[in-house]
Amino acid sequence: MKAARIHEFKKPLEIDEIPVPDPGPNQVLLKVSATGMCRSDFQLLDGYFAAGLPVDLPFTPGHEVAGTIAALGRGVPQDVDLGEGDLVIVDPNWGDGTCRQCNEGNQQLCSNGQLVGFGPNGGFAEYMLAPYDHVIAIRQAGAEAQYLAPLTDAGLTPYRGIKKLRAAGKLGPGRTLVVNGIGGLGSYGVQYAKLLGAGATVIAFARSDDKLAVARDNGADHTVNVRGKSVEDVQNELEDLTNRRDVDAVLDCAGSPDSLGLAAAVLATEGALSQVGLMGTKVELPLFPFVSGERSYYGSFWGNHNDLQEVLALASQGKIKHNVVTVKLDDVNDNLEALGRGDIVGRAVIVFD
Ligand code: FEH
Ligand code: ZN
């Protein structure tokens, strides 16, 4: 099979011809149909995760996968409703099933767990392996792999991030919610801001008009191009748009020092910032304003099984729009470089024949 593999960090992936793997007793072999491309794939290749998520080279990235079952391991229970040819998505976070986080249903937080495409080989290949209990069969007629794959990360991570803001009581009528960074995650994040915002006014921040057009098309009430603007410039635009110079909640899908600094600066008293973007390497927040204004900062990572089921339900009801650009495996390096530059509008998805 063809596989795009990391042989050396900071060097292009190599398209290799390698054997199709055999499923272990409790695994399924997937024929990959579609795999989303994430900025964290670019960061993986760049060595960003070398300490936290070490991988054995050569390594196949790809953590946002839909495919069809090609074979079942001999230990897959007979009563499991999975069969060859079934269209499935890969639930990407494989916990150990024993720790507190796993028992709370948050396998993405398991310190002994595995993240597909960041440990186990992923979907930048024609076939891949997954535990049988971490694939979800899609029974909806007409469901397309290129739109299912992104739901396992780009369409999942911002969903959990918005849920944190809702759980913190920061959304609702009269509230303003910024989605900062309209890339693969932000194009879904704007939609969840409207779906879960309970009437909050949704404002998109981005550095390109093309991405802000996606945000408007996906339901943003207002957009602000923040490229080259000071905090005061942005506060002036917020006042023109909302009659306020601050906002109650921010979903930051970028995570760069500039985006985090701007978000912290415009966050209102008792406001909350939910962080899903990882462009930077550290968090710097103004200490006294955060303490004296009881502002909150939440890290939010990927999503759990229930979050994913909720996203699948919204998608099956036609409540989620996709901004997908389909690409081929042979063009993986060009698209990784484009991701690194922030040049992809929407989500690039590798599609296989
Ligand atoms: C996955 C693994 C490690 C870091 C970041 C990510 C994100 O792509 C999850 O949304
Ligand atoms: Zn990702």
Q: Residue ranges per domain, the chain?
A: 2-155+303-351, 157-299
- What is the pLDDT, as a whole number, of residue 34? 98
Q: How confident is the model at residue 333 (pLDDT cuts 50, 70, 90)?
A: very high
For ligand 1, atom 8, which residue shows the shortest CA distance?
40
CA 15 from centre of chain: 25
- What is the pLDDT, as a whole number, of residue 21? 98
Q: How confident is the model at residue 73 (pLDDT cuts 50, 70, 90)?
A: very high
| Distance between Cα 332 and ligand 1 center (Å) | 18
Please compute the mean of the pLDDT values over residues 62-76 and round it to a whole number: 98
For ligand 1, atom 7, which residue shows the shortest CA distance?
40
Rounded CA-CA distance 162/188 in Å is 11
Q: How confident is the model at residue 263 (pLDDT cuts 50, 70, 90)?
A: very high
- What is the pLDDT, as a whole number, of residue 337? 97
- What is the pLDDT, as a whole number, of residue 198? 98
Query: Torsion-angle region of residue 130: left (phi > 0), alpha (psi -120 to 50) or beta?
Result: beta
| Distance between Cα 275 and ligand 1 center (Å) | 12
For ligand 1, atom 1, which residue shows the shortest CA distance?
40
Pocket of ligand 1 (CB under 6 A): 38, 40, 115, 118, 153, 157, 278, 302
| Distance between Cα 43 and ligand 1 center (Å) | 9
Ligand nearest to the CA of 113: 1
| Distance between Cα 185 and ligand 2 center (Å) | 8
The end-to-end CA distance of the chain, in Å, is: 12
Q: Tell if the pTM clears 0.95, that is, is over it.
A: yes
- What is the pLDDT, as a whole number, of residue 137? 98
| Distance between Cα 127 and ligand 1 center (Å) | 21
Give the tokens for residue 154. Answer: 């780009």
For ligand 1, atom 5, which residue shows the shortest CA distance?
40
Q: How confident is the model at residue 326 (pLDDT cuts 50, 70, 90)?
A: very high
Give the pLDDT confidence of 84-136 residue by residue, as tens digits.
Answer: 999 999 999 999 999 999 999 999 999 999 999 999 999 999 999 999 999 99
- What is the pLDDT, as a whole number, of residue 114? 97
On average, the pLDDT of the chain sits at 97
For ligand 1, atom 3, which residue shows the shortest CA distance?
40
2-155+303-351 has which fold?
A: Quinone Oxidoreductase; Chain A, domain 1 (3.90.180)
Are 198 and 173 a contacting pair, CB within 8 Å? Answer: yes
For ligand 1, atom 6, which residue shows the shortest CA distance?
40
Which atom of ligand 1 is the closest one to the Cα of 154? 10
Ligand nearest to the CA of 62: 2
| Distance between Cα 127 and ligand 2 center (Å) | 19
Secondary structure string (H, E, C) spanning 316-350: HCCCCCCCEEEECHHHHHHHHHHHHHCCCCCEEEE
Superfamily for domain range 157-299: NAD(P)-binding Rossmann-like Domain (3.40.50.720)
Would you say the CATH fold of 157-299 matches that of 2-155+303-351?
Answer: no
Which atom of ligand 1 is the closest one to the Cα of 64? 8
- What is the pLDDT, as a whole number, of residue 290? 98
| Distance between Cα 13 and ligand 2 center (Å) | 18
- What is the pLDDT, as a whole number, of residue 159? 98
Q: pLDDT exceeding 90 applies to what percent of the chain?
A: 99
For ligand 1, atom 4, which residue shows the shortest CA distance?
40
Please compute the mean of the pLDDT values over residues 346-352 and round it to a whole number: 98
Please compute the mean of the pLDDT values over residues 146-163 and round it to a whole number: 98
Give the pLDDT confidence of 193-235 residue by residue, as tens digits.
Answer: 999 999 999 999 999 999 999 999 999 999 999 999 999 999 9
SS3 177: strand
- What is the pLDDT, as a whole number, of residue 187? 98
User: 283 vs 80, 311, 351, CA distance in Å?
Assistant: 44, 29, 36
